[in-house]
Amino acid sequence: MALTSTIDSWVQEAADSEIVEDSLLWIQNRLRELGLVENEHRVDEDFFISPRLFVYSVLVTYCVGLASIFIYRYRRRSRLKRELQEAKAQLKYLQEKLLQMDENKREVRIFMDGAFDLMHYGHMNAFRLGRSLGTHLVVGVNSDESITQCKAAPLMKDEERLTMVSACKFVDEVVPGCPYIMNKDYLDYVIEKYRIDYVVHGDDPCIVNGVDVYAESKKAGKYRSIPRTEGVSTTDIVG
């Protein structure tokens, strides 16, 4: 009740002020210019709106304006808060997906072997293709002794061929002393020790004394082939 009385007293004081009177006269003149008011009235006569009502109108308009600003800011904050929550939820979802992908990502280990005498780009391309089939490439380098028994003495020694193979960027690991023809026992040994998923070789036949060098790998379902790089070989280079 006291608040109502205070507001009413303040409105009456404002209505009696020169500012309100001048404002109403200015409005009246603008309305007359627009043809909306025909006769000239004084504020204290029969005017289109009383000073008290005018002050109340200004006060209500001001309060409505403040409320509109408050509501706009509140809704904006609510929208931003909701968008932030949605962004956090999306971020959490993506993080969980990334973790799931990391958990599901399994290392695939590839094994290749060969003499790799006089290393050339055909060998490099074979390593590149072999590496593309997995995530880790293990390369077995045939020993001088096994190469000599199955073909002929290599031009480069074990240490030299091992050094060249290990320098290739596609090769992750090198196994020395690998036999030219891998029997089942050796294949089982390599697969277990180096956790091999697939044994890889070019699609050209590799037959020694009528025996397929990769017969055991194929039987075990561990064999994969890659295209042979045409136009280059150690035999062609040596002539």
- The total of other beta-carbon atoms located within 10 Å of residue 20's CB is 19
Q: What is the pTM for the complete model shown?
A: 0.55
User: What integer pLDDT is reported at residue 110 of this predicted model?
Assistant: 95
Res. 169: pLDDT tops 60: yes
User: What integer pLDDT is reported at residue 206 of this predicted model?
Assistant: 75
Amino acid (one-letter) located at 134: G
Max mean pLDDT range (48-52, 68-72, 122-126): 122-126
Report the alpha-carbon distance of residue 108 to residue 105 in Å, rounded: 9
Q: What is the mean pLDDT of residues 142-151?
A: 90
Q: Is 172 exposed, middle or buried (0-12, 13-18, 19+ CB in 10 A)?
A: middle
Strand partners, 174: 139
Residue 91 Cα distances to 57, 95, 106, 155, angstroms? 50, 6, 24, 59
Confidence tier at 42 by pLDDT (50, 70, 90): very low
